Structure 1
Amino acid sequence: MAFTTTKSAFWRGVRDSAPFLLVSGPFGLLFGVLAAEAGLNVPEAFTFSLAVFAGSAQFTALQLLQENTPLMIVLVSALAVNLRVAMYSASLTPYLGDAPLWQRACAAYLVVDQSYALSVVKFETEPDMTVPQRMAYFFGTNGLVAPGWMIATITGALVGAQIPESWGLDFVLPLAFLAMIGPMLRTPAHLVACFVAIAVSLPATLLPYNLGLIVAGLAGMMAGAQAELWLERAAARQTAKRERQS
């Protein structure tokens, strides 16, 4: 589809992102409920979502804050969980790197899974888009999701404040992470990274200040990277062997 104006590109991004409300809405609601369960009031929960705007990092930080973890460890853990966003930003730079600085700064804040996935596919399939049109489309992918996340957070915090503490909603937090991780395990390298992180995390619980989370995450990433290299080399050897036999 050819984009004739930046306005049409923006609204196309809005339309393409609409289905993601079915995912971001419930997770934002869950974060608000758990934030209230953790003792945050509605303005604090809203400010948390507004300042961070990164679902998995918010859940991680919230869990560590509940356990009275030192602030530096909370920040490092949240950043570690969100490292993928740095790769997203690097991937988008060839398409958005020539935009004005203020636009790139706003885009950096709005880089999340959904905005990246939609934008990079659109930019690859529509190479004739101008930089303003690309930026408009990118902002459009957050036109519904970002406000929806904030509204869901406020709603969840309002509801969560009325839920008795005896309900033990903090148990929902690990379930939420399982729901997020499950669909991401698509390759053997992903599975290796997951199970190595699990294996390391069990003895790593003995480390102080919840450092086990960081240690397990690093171990999982290294194991996944090594597994991917091994699989690529094995595939290359198989290809070379078939070529020699033919």
Structure 2
Amino acid sequence: MTSYFDRTEFLRGVRHGLPFLLVVGPFALLFGVVATEAGLPVVQTLAFSVVVIAGAAQFTALQLMAENAPTVVVIASALTVNLRLAMYSASITPYFGALPFWRRAFVAYGLVDQSYALAIIEFEKRSGLSLGQKFSYFLGSITPVFPAWYAATLVGALVGQAIPPSFALDFAVPITFLAMIGPMLRTKAHVLAAVVSVITALIFAFLPWNLGLMMAAAAGMITGAEVERQAEKARDSK
């Protein structure tokens, strides 16, 4: 019988996941505060974080809901922000595709920016890991992060305005993504896709309901795919 738990790899994942607490805590606190200020009850705020567990999409949806945007726009915007998770899933499938269904479902639930960044770098660096060791590492990487996300969301929802503005919790959002994206910009396609998406988002920032963000995501993906296609074409011609 295949063992899907390796204590050494689990603890290694926990160690690697711990630094993310520095940004996950403030990020979740901020969401809890903003959600309750927008009128969501504490229970709904916590459920939002437990069920969706995708901070950027949660903030996007919440902002649009507060602006009374059409439901279809709220859903489309949240899905656009989370579209990167579909790409994460495709990227990480070769490492977890052989897992039993319920374990794959658990990985799908736990696949967030932090866990993906840690897993993909670790698995590429240590190609000899077994399936059980990979699953254990992934499980360890989310063990410190997820409970902290839930707890900080609840604290933010309960405390709300009692958190001084001087704490500047919103710093956690950009720092989190910069810390994760920076090391992953390893190819020309990655860099150009990032540059094009940023420029597009800035150009169309005037559009309502975050529609510029959807355009930026599409432009970035098209750019990355085209650069990869041209690179592959050049390799084949040699």
Tell me whether the two structures share a fold, i.e. TM-score over 0.5.
yes
1:155-206 per-position Cα deviation (integer Å, ceiling 9, x unaligned): 1111116579xx8xxx987x7655556665763542332122222231x33x
The structure number with the bigger radius of gyration is: 1
Q: Distance in 2 between matches of 1:84 and 1:119?
A: 15
**Residues matched between the structures, number:** 221
Query: Aligned letter for 2:157?
Result: A
Alpha carbons 1:96, 1:104 under 8 Å: kept: yes
| TM-score normalised per structure 2 | 0.80
More deviation, 187-196/37-46: 187-196
Show structure 1 runs of 5+ residues with no match: 241-246
Alpha carbons 1:36, 1:161 under 8 Å: kept: no
- Residue 202 (structure 2) pairs with residue 191 (structure 1): no
Computed over aligned residues only, the root mean square deviation of the Cα atoms, in angstroms, reads: 3.0
| TM-score normalised per structure 1 | 0.77
Change (3 A) 1:192 1:15: same
1:140 aligned partner = 140
2:188 aligned partner = none
Alpha carbons 1:64, 1:74 under 8 Å: kept: yes
1:68 aligned partner = 68
**Offset of 1:90 from its aligned partner?**
0.8
Pairing 1:1-246 to 2, within 5 Å after superposition: 6-160=6-160, 179=175, 184=181, 187-202=191-206, 204-205=207-208, 210=209, 213-214=210-211, 216-225=212-221, 229=226
Change (3 A) 1:199 1:32: same
| Percent of matched pairs sharing the same residue | 44
1:27-56 per-position Cα deviation (integer Å, ceiling 9, x unaligned): 011111111111122211111100100110
Q: Distance in 2 between matches of 1:172 and 1:14?
A: 24
Change (3 A) 1:198 1:95: same
Alpha carbons 2:33, 2:156 under 8 Å: kept: yes
